[in-house]
Amino acid sequence: MTKRGLFAAAAAIFCFLAAARADVADFYGNWENASRDASGITHIQVNPAGGNRVSVRAYGDCHPIECNWGLVEGQSYSAAPHSRDVESISATFETGFARKQIILRKGPSGELLFEVLTEFSDRSGRHDFDMTGRLKHTAWAGPVGQTWERGTTQNAGWGGGVRSGASPAPREACDGFDPKGAQVVQDGSSWRVVAGGKTVADAGGDKRLAQRVLETIRYYRFNRKCRVGAAPVDYWKYGTSIPNKRMGGADCITFNATTVHAALIGHRWRIVDGVQWIADLGANKAQADQLLSLIRTYRLSAECFVTRPNPVMVYWLSH
């Protein structure tokens, strides 16, 4: 079965799931996704289009503000061919990098339950994925102005539309060192990488890992170790640049700087790309925003580690 066929099959299955009986008018209005989850959806508007027909507009989680996915015709599904009860509404959006089908149904407490099936079309190799969530009624009625109606560009965010407004600049703090003088030294039972009298990495009792850190520093000619805001995430630079060539044997997570975004999962803010999470910033949204700003400022595309799950060194690569 083709991916398009899978979307249709998923919609058919979804409409037969147990749901609260509803009239199409029960779907009308403005709806908000308070979770800011990995689906990328922030707001959905459903408006009448005659009979059981509706129009659906969706907004996505861009940074620093939302992006408009556009306005499409929605398809309503009834419980049976002659039933007037509307079980679900389906709407499909093309966001430039992905095709997203949103399926809505009424929840037991008046909310909308949604499912979004994301099919990536940018040949990035990322897996298509399926997410569910809840939408609550809101008075929010969308942004004022027509700049939201432009097509997607390289400056598009996770929402797939054009960002209005620049991302805040990351607050970087860096310590410089001379990589030519960097060396591995033993301190009791621990092995450290030292440059200019400063410890730049501590490998504990593993000399091999310390040597791997030193090889990485020399390969990329790193001469600055940095931190963004208060986020507990280190990164390395050569002068003002972040490298783009991967060292042989490097252990890296790759992602797309356009679609990566901050999501509140449980009670923790994570930087995610689709179903893949890249960094966990705990409960501090400001830290997540700073790391997201860094990723988009430098067009970062990979996070690399010298050993996992407890890395001795974490560095990033750009496009």
Task: Give the pLDDT confidence of 200-221 residue by residue, as tens digits.
Answer: 999 999 999 999 999 999 999 9
Residues 204 and 301 in one domain: yes
Residues 25 and 117 in one domain: yes
Q: 81-90, 153-162, 216-225: lowest mean pLDDT where?
A: 153-162
Q: What is the pLDDT of residues 276-293, one digit of tens each?
A: 788 888 888 888 888 988
Quote the pLDDT of residue 120: 84
Quote the pLDDT of residue 142: 62
Last residue of a domain, one of 149, 183, 198: 149
Residues 182 and 138 in one domain: no
Of 183, 314, 308, 288, the C-alpha closest to 236 is 314
- The residue behind tokens 């909310």 is 111
Q: What are phi and psi of 272, to 5 degrees?
A: -130, 155
Q: How far is CA 296 from CA 10, 258, 262, 300, in A?
A: 34, 7, 12, 7
Last residue of a domain, one of 149, 181, 216: 149
Report the relative pairing of strands 198-202 and 190-195 from DSSP bridges. Answer: antiparallel
Cβ partners under 8 Å of residue 144, min gap 6: none
Q: Which residue has the higher pLDDT, 131 or 17?
A: 131
The arithmetic mean of pLDDT across residues 245-256, rounded, is: 89
Specify the number of domains making up the chain.
Answer: 2
Structural domain that includes position 74: 3-149
Q: Which amino acid is at 251?
A: D
Quote the pLDDT of residue 12: 44
If pLDDT is split at 50, 70 and 90, which confidence band does 21 have? low
What is the share, in percent, of the chain residues with pLDDT greater than 70? Answer: 82
pTM of the entire predicted model? 0.56
140 CB neighbour count, 10 Å cutoff: 14
Instruction: Supply the CATH number for residue 125's domain.
Output: 2.40.128
Quote the pLDDT of residue 241: 93
Quote the pLDDT of residue 172: 92
Residues 301 and 194 in one domain: yes
Quote the pLDDT of residue 160: 42
